Amino acid sequence: MTTTTPATQSPAEPSHGRRLFGIWLILALAADLIIWFVWKPHLPPGDLSDSARHQQLDIAVLAVSAAPVIIFVLLYFTYAIVVWRARPGDDSDGEPIYGNTKVQASWIIGTTIIVLWLFVFGTVELVGPAGAGAGEGPSPVWKLAGATSATWTPGGKTMLEVQVIGQQWTWTFRYPQFGGMESTELMLPVNTPVTFHVTSLDVIHSFWAYQLGVKADANPQVDNVAYTTARALGGVTVRCSELCGIWHGAMFNYGHVVTQAAFQSWANGVQSKEKTDGVLAALPPFALAYDPTVVPQLGAALPKIDGITGAAGYYYPPGDPVTP
Ligand SMILES: [Cu+2]
C-alpha cells in the first residue's frame, strides 16, 4: 500500500507503516508493562517455591512475548478496516502486486526470531530448575544441587528426602531421614532442597502440590523423582491429578512450609511418637517403591493401629475389596 499511483490516490498519502509501528509500539509496551508488573505477581501457582516461581516466570515471559504479536495482528486488522476500506462508489480493483522483498524478509526474520527465542527459553527453563517441578522417573536427568545424607539437620545443604505415597484415596508422606516415619501432612522446611520420591500402592495417581509447582505421576512400583526448594512460609494443598477411582475428587491432603528448626522438632516429635506407639515397627521397611502383593504388613497389621498417627486409611483396611 505504500506505492502510490497518481491516478487512484492523492499525493498526500501518509506513511502507513510508520503510523502502524508507532501505535503498535505504544500498545505493545503498555501491554507488556501491565503483564509484567500488574499481572505476574498474581499468576498461578504463586511464589512459594523455586519451581512455582519459575512457572510464574514462564507464563509471564510467554505472555510478554505473545502480546506484541497479538496486538500487531489486531491493530493491522482494525487499521485496514478503518483506513483502507473501499469508499462508496469506488468499484476499482486493487493494484496487482508481485512480491515485496521488505515484507517477505521481515516476516521470515521475525518469525524465526520468535520461534528460536521460545525454543531456547523453553529449554533453559526445563533444565534450569531441575526438571521444571515435574517427575523425571527413577534416574533424573536434571538434578537439584544438594548433598544426600541418611540424616537431616537444619542449616546444612543436605537434601530432605520425602516419599510421597498415593493410594485410593489419600496421600501419605514418609520421611526416610527420620526413621521412615509417616505423616498425612506434607511438612517441609524452608530454603531446603527437597527430593520427592513419588509412588503408589494401587492404581495410578498424580502428586500435585499446587503451591509448590510440583506435579509428578504416582505409579505403583515406580520411584518417580521430582525436586523443589520452598522459598517462603505458607500452606500447601496436595491433590490427586489423575482420575483414580470414585473418590478421586476427594483425594487431597494439606501441608505447610515451616522454618527449618520448626520442621526438625516436628519431624523428631512424630518419629518418637510413632516409635513409642509401635507404628514404626509395624510399618513396612522403607523402600523406594512398594508392591502391596508382597509386603506382608500391607492390609494386615497396620489397620489395627490406624488412628494412632492420624494417618487415616493406612493402606488397605481389612476386608476392603480393593485389589492392586
Ligand atoms: Cu488419585
pLDDT of residue 293: 62
Q: Bigger pLDDT: 308 or 246? A: 246
What's the rounded Cα separation, in Å, for the pair 161 and 292? 22
Do residues 214 and 228 touch, judged by C-beta distance below 8 A?
A: yes
164 CA from centroid of ligand 1 (Å):
12
How much is the CA Rg of the chain, to the nearest whole Å?
A: 29
The pTM is what? 0.80
Length of the chain (residues): 324
Residue 227's pLDDT is what? 94
Q: Cα–Cα distance between 115 and 92 in angstroms, integer?
A: 39
pLDDT digits 0-9 by tens, 150-163: 999 898 789 999 99
Task: Give the distance (Å) from ligand 1 centre to CA of residue 265.
Answer: 30
d(CA 67, CA 29): 9
Share of the chain above pLDDT 70, in %: 86
- Higher pLDDT, residue 15 or 306: 15
Q: How far is the CA of 42 from the centre of ligand 1 (A)?
A: 28
Q: How much distance in Å is there from the Cα of 184 to the middle of ligand 1?
A: 15
214-226 tens-digit pLDDT: 999 999 889 999 9
- Centre of ligand 1 to C-alpha 251, Å, is 6
Give residue 246 CA to ligand 1 midpoint distance, Å: 9
What is the DSSP pairing of strand 181-183 with strand 205-209?
Answer: unpaired
Residue 308 has pLDDT above 60, yes or no: no
How many Å apart are CA 72 and CA 91, to the nearest integer? 29
Mean pLDDT of 169-193: 93
Instruction: Indicate the pairing of strand 252-258 with strand 186-189.
Output: parallel
Model confidence pLDDT, tens digit, residues 278-290:
888 878 888 888 8
Residue of higher predicted confidence among 236 and 133: 236
Separation of alpha carbons 254 and 164, rounded Å: 13
Judge whether residue 141 has pLDDT over 70: yes
Domain spans of the chain?
16-84+98-133, 160-282
Cα(181) to ligand 1 centroid in Å equals: 22
Contact 226, 196 (CB under 8 A): yes
Q: How far is the CA of 222 from the centre of ligand 1 (A)?
A: 15
CA of 310 to the centre of ligand 1 (A): 19
How many angstroms does the Cα of residue 59 sit away from the middle of ligand 1?
27
Cα(237) to centroid of ligand 1, in Å? 14
- Asked if pLDDT for residue 320 goes beyond 50, the answer is no
> Which SS3 state, helix, strand or coil, does residue 97 take?
coil
Q: Which residues pair with 92 in a beta bridge?
A: none
d(CA 313, CA 172) in angstroms, rounded, equals: 10
- Residue 16 near residue 94 (C-beta atoms within 8 A): no
The per-residue DSSP string of 112-176 comes to HHHHHHHHHHHHHHHHTTTTTTB---SS-SSPPS-B--SS--TTS-BPEEEEEEEETTEEEEEEG
| Residue position matching grid coordinates 537434601 | 159
Determine the distance separating the centroid of ligand 1 and the alpha carbon of 225, expressed in angstroms.
Answer: 17
Helix 101-127 to helix 50-83 angle (10° resolution) is 160
pLDDT one-digit tens code per residue, 185-215: 999 999 999 999 999 988 899 999 999 999 9
Top mean pLDDT of 74-78, 164-168, 295-299 is at 74-78
- Indicate the residue type of 187: M
pLDDT (mean) for 120-145: 86
Residue 66 has pLDDT above 70, yes or no: yes
Interatomic CA distance for residues 239 and 296, integer angstroms? 28
Q: Which fold has domain 160-282?
A: Immunoglobulin-like (2.60.40)
Q: Which contacts qualify for 70-79: CB closer than 8 Å, 24 or more apart?
A: 71/24, 71/27, 71/28, 71/31, 72/24, 72/28, 75/20, 75/23, 75/24, 75/27, 76/20, 79/16, 79/20, 79/23
| Residue where the block lists cell 495482528 | 73
Least confident stretch, 70-84, 119-133, 298-312: 298-312
Say which residue, 8 or 27, is predicted with more confidence: 27
The mean per-residue pLDDT over the stretch 11-19 comes to 83
Q: Which residue has the higher pLDDT, 133 or 68?
A: 68
Assess whether pLDDT exceeds 80 at residue 317. Answer: no
Can you give the pLDDT at residue 93? 86
How far is the centre of ligand 1, averaged over its atoms, from the C-alpha of 152 (Å)?
Answer: 29
**112 CA from centroid of ligand 1 (Å):** 42
Helix (H) or strand (E) holding 83: helix 50-83
pLDDT the model gives residue 316: 41
